[in-house]
Every structure is written in structure tokens, then in C-alpha cells.
Amino acid sequence: MTNTTVENIILGCLSFGPRSGYEIKKIINMSSSWFYNASYGSIYPILKKHEEKGLVSSEEVVDNGRYKRLYKLTDKGYKVFHAWMLQSPKLMTVKYEMAVKLMFFAKIAPEQRIKQIEEHIEQLILFKQELEEIEPFADSEGDAYQRLILDWGEKLYEFLIQWFSTLLEELNKYNGDLPQIPKNKK
């Protein structure tokens, strides 16, 4: 029985205890969303699939006068999650739209290259700030490994901001273009 990564993330969220779909989404938003996200539209079908496979059970409870469905990891679900945790991770493949755009930057005007990089740096800064806002939650609710992955994310975004800032300096220096690198200098 092979689950996708997001299916395993949901099992992992339930390994901390029973949760509603909303609470699972909140955990994902506060933890893995910057490197692996899931929408409500994917969480609930996965929970249903997990329940059909016997990986989770659910019950409807009343909380503050409102009905909500709580999902709980079964023994079978924990075994599946634990087996996945012990597998060697798949090699990371990055789907990074800006990297794809850079491959074709020669096809847009020099001033548009500068604008694209400026806007991307702004996005990176905002996302890094979102990670920094998670720090109090990670410090109070997370464990050492969850804090470690948050630090990794912050450092990754620091690197990307610096890398794109250097590229922006070069583009500004050469009026939105870059000099050709001679083939014998590679």
C-alpha cells in the first residue's frame, strides 16, 4: 500500500492525536506548507480514502455547540505511516516556476527581466516573513525536528533572496541583460 507524500503528511498530522480536517490543514499551514502543501479540497478526499482503507477512523463530536468530525489514526494507519518514515526518501525534484522562466529570459525585454526579478524577490521576502511568523508556534508547540525544518526553510529563502538580489544587481549593471559567458570559461 503506497501513499503519496501528502497522504503520509496527513497520517503524520494524525500521529499527534485526533484532529478535524480543519485542524489538519492548520497544522500543515504552520509546518509543511512552504515545502509541501495540501488544500481542503485534497485533505477531505484523502481522509475519506484513508478511512476506507482502515488507516483512520472518525467520529462526529460536538465542540462548543458545533458538530465536527474528528479523525484518528488506527493501528494499521500508524504502521503504514511508520513504514513510510523508515523508507529512504525519494530524491527531491524541484518545481520552481521562476527557474523555468530564467531559462527563457532572453525571450523577454530587458526591463521586463528586471521587473520579474524585483517582483520575485518581493515574493520571497514575504514568504520568509511568513516562516518567521511561525516561529512562536514552532517554539511552543513543535519539537526539535519541526524547529529544524523551519530553520532549513528560513535559510533556503535567505539563500534565494540573496541569489536573486545578486542577479538583480547584475541585470541592473548591464541594463537588463547579462554578458555571454565564454564556453571555455565554464
141: in domain? yes
Pair (50, 114) in one structural domain: no
The 10s digit of each residue's pLDDT in 112-156 is 999 999 999 999 999 999 889 888 888 888 888 888 888 998 999
Same domain, 101 and 179: yes
> Is 92 part of a structural domain of the chain?
no
Q: What is the CATH number of the domain that holds 68?
A: 1.10.10.10
Q: Record the pTM.
A: 0.77
The last residue of one of the domains, among 86, 109, 137, is: 86
Give the range among 50-54, 143-147, 169-173 with minimum mean pLDDT: 143-147
What domain range includes position 34? 5-86
The CA distance from 33 to 99, in Å, is 20
Say if 165 falls within a structural domain. yes
> What three-state secondary structure class fits 16?
coil
Q: Is residue 82 part of a domain?
A: yes
**Are 14 and 82 members of one domain?**
yes
Distances (CA, A) of 151 to 23, 121, 157: 23, 19, 10
- Is there a single domain that holds both residue 121 and residue 81? no
Which pLDDT belongs to residue 45?
95
Same domain, 102 and 181: yes
Verify that 114 and 73 share a domain, yes or no.
Answer: no
Same domain, 9 and 41: yes
Of the candidates 37, 59, 86, which is a domain's last residue?
A: 86
For residues 64 and 103, membership in a common domain is answered with no
Residues 40, 11 share a domain: yes
Cβ–Cβ contacts within 10 Å for residue 8, how many? 19
Separation CA 127–CA 133 (nearest Å): 10
Q: How far apart are CA 60 and CA 44, in angstroms?
A: 14
Residues 11 and 54 in one domain: yes
- 65-96 per-position pLDDT tens digit: 999 999 999 999 999 999 999 999 888 777 88
Q: How many domains does the chain have?
A: 2
> 24 and 104 share a domain?
no
